[in-house]
Amino acid sequence: MLTWKDVINFSVKGNPTPDRRVEKTNDEWYKLLTPEQFRITRQKGTERPHSGALCSIHDAGKYNCICCDAPLFDSTIKFSSGTGWPSFTQPIKENAIKYERDTAFGMVRVEVMCNTCDAHLGHVFPDGPEPSGLRYCINSESMQLEKETANDK
């Protein structure tokens, strides 16, 4: 289980190696994504709080990157944080997420990105529920829910 110390270490000392890499030009990404998905994932944007389609959904399944379809989070670790964005306590696996120090807007935060394609997802904070204490605050537009089917059980 990842902790805040692990997150800080990744952001300072380097991220885990992803299982695979997907790299495209901005023009290629623009053709694949909606304008809002492109703004958020490729230009480090954010959606308005409580506006994302995945914010209040709690269906079973996996949340995958909207850009490259890499699995990012499992629905079993999603929780209602009241912040207005989908929130998770852990990534689906340690090397799914890339971490970078973010000093924009006069604050110090840790940006989280898809480790496969570098899509901006959101930020992680040390104010989540136990046992990890982490809150991955993720833009709905950066993910798609792959719902669990009866065959997946």
* Residues recorded for the chain: 153
What confidence category does residue 56 fall into, taking pLDDT thresholds of 50, 70 and 90? confident
Closest CA to 143 of 96, 109, 110, 100: 96
Question: What average pLDDT does the segment 115-144 reach?
Answer: 97
Closest CA to 19 of 85, 80, 74, 91: 91
The answer, yes or no, to whether residue 37 has pLDDT greater than 70, is yes
Cα–Cα distance for residue pair 78/80, rounded to 1 Å: 7
Cα–Cα distance for residue pair 79/20, rounded to 1 Å: 28
Query: Residue 50: what residue type?
Result: H
137 is catalytic: yes
Q: Which of 55, 67, 68, 137 is catalytic?
A: 137
pLDDT of residue 149: 79
pLDDT of residue 150: 64
Question: What average pLDDT does the segment 44-48 reach?
Answer: 95
Question: What average pLDDT does the segment 36-49 reach?
Answer: 96
Question: What average pLDDT does the segment 37-59 reach?
Answer: 94
What confidence category does residue 106 fall into, taking pLDDT thresholds of 50, 70 and 90? confident
What end-to-end distance do the CA atoms of the chain give, in Å?
23
Question: What average pLDDT does the segment 52-76 reach?
Answer: 95
Question: What average pLDDT does the segment 114-143 reach?
Answer: 97
Rg from Cα positions in the chain: 15
The answer, yes or no, to whether residue 51 has pLDDT greater than 80, is yes
The DSSP bridge partners found for residue 112 are 99, 122
The answer, yes or no, to whether residue 153 has pLDDT greater than 60, is no
pLDDT of residue 108: 75
